[in-house]
Structure 1
């Protein structure tokens, strides 16, 4: 299989993070800019959904079984609660992601159709709006008029400008269904990690005797790994992202554990 190299934009991003000004200049030379096709690719399009789906999956699942452990309930209860929480929350999150993405696309489509109608039926008013947009950005005189004429000479560019500059809307070609599936499976895979010891407890007595402790270790490692992956989306240092995710997940689990302990020891709730 042919290995896909990094794009110019990816290399420029890495040069920026490394403070490599010379590399940045080289990547912005006419030769480099001209030789790379200007099109979007599938690669990296759904990284955000994968990272955040995994983050939510592991935090919510571990918090659920921590609450069970705090209440000193049976490991079987932890497994049942964890699995039920994992699939229910994963499905809920995926459906929410799908509906959110689809609603946004439907809204942008409706606004595009409205802008098209206005350009075709009220061209002078729409041209005046374009002029006012760039006038407020500081342009004036011949430069302003030349830009307005250039934009309004192309209907597609005109509509895109109104969507971006007037309404603050930006279209992308992501699929709501693909986005939902990525969210669901990343949620399930990462969220399953805290349950590994409970699922395989019967295979080794050591696991059976230390289920929650081992789950904590596995979860901590997974939290740090998923947090480090946020660097791909946010650009933060990998170790900083890992520690932040570890802190958030640990705090959530500690609160859940404390609530479980409180209900059992203070209020005497026993299952």
Structure 2
């Protein structure tokens, strides 16, 4: 294998690994954020309606499992749709490489000419890429269509989302569980839940900065504000419904 070909394969491997880790992180952050926000919204609404801790636990866990499952399935189906679309595009590129090789070779040449390569160096790049069909197809997918192979499986995407949703979504219920088992708390269950939830929202938001490249504190504050507003709305609705119900 030539040095240029080895470099291209190393780059392709790095892109795949980075994409896989990035997708796992995105699924985890999405699941954790939704888990915390939706579960605490249920807790806040129940607290606003002055429902008993037992009712809060029933509603909270029912929401936690049902919403977590629903979100995991949605993410699984979305990832599978992306994977299917990628597979169809790849089949089309394979057909074009096999049946229209000169046109596809010229396309590679145009792509790298636009990047500033000319003369012998350009021809060596074209020859290196097109000497291997798999490399050729993947280069066309990436450079011509802007499509990168999704290395994460749909099942893994759904599983990561579900686990993150359940683990993070349990936090708003933690102190209600402790209270249920008779463990004394320095403050009320709702107050403790509020504090932990706000801290968790900020932490999950800060983790988003690894994907968005924005300042961690800004990402943290954004999620904190959104989650806080959702909880406030749920609390107000709970209060209003309690008053209407007499």
Relative to the length of structure 2, the TM-score reads 0.80
More helix as a share of residues: 2
Aligned position for 2:153: 175
Structure 1: state its 5+ residue gaps. Answer: 1-32
Distance 2:75 2:94 in 1: 29
Aligned position for 1:101: 79
Aligned position for 1:142: 119
SS for the counterpart of 2:245 is coil
Deviation at 1:63, TM superposition (A): 0.9
Greater Cα offset, 105-114 or 234-243 = 234-243
Distance 1:229 1:164 in 2: 28
Greater Cα offset, 222-231 or 102-111 = 222-231
Distance 1:139 1:238 in 2: 36
CA contact (8 A) 2:54 2:180 kept: no
Aligned position for 2:245: 269
Aligned position for 1:213: 191
Aligned position for 1:118: 96
Aligned position for 2:66: 88
Q: 1:141 to 1:218 in 2, by over 3 A?
A: closer
Provide the aligned C-alpha RMSD in A.
3.1
Equivalent in 60, 70, 73 of residue 38 of structure 2: 60
Aligned position for 1:72: 50
Distance 1:97 1:155 in 2: 32
Q: 1:143 to 1:244 in 2, by over 3 A?
A: farther
Distance 2:209 2:117 in 1: 41
Q: How many residues end up aligned between the 2 structures?
A: 233
SS for the counterpart of 1:195 is helix
Relative to the length of structure 1, the TM-score reads 0.73
Aligned position for 1:20: none
Distance 1:72 1:218 in 2: 20
CA contact (8 A) 1:134 1:144 kept: no
Aligned position for 2:211: 233
Structure 2: state its 5+ residue gaps. Answer: 1-6
Distance 2:92 2:110 in 1: 19
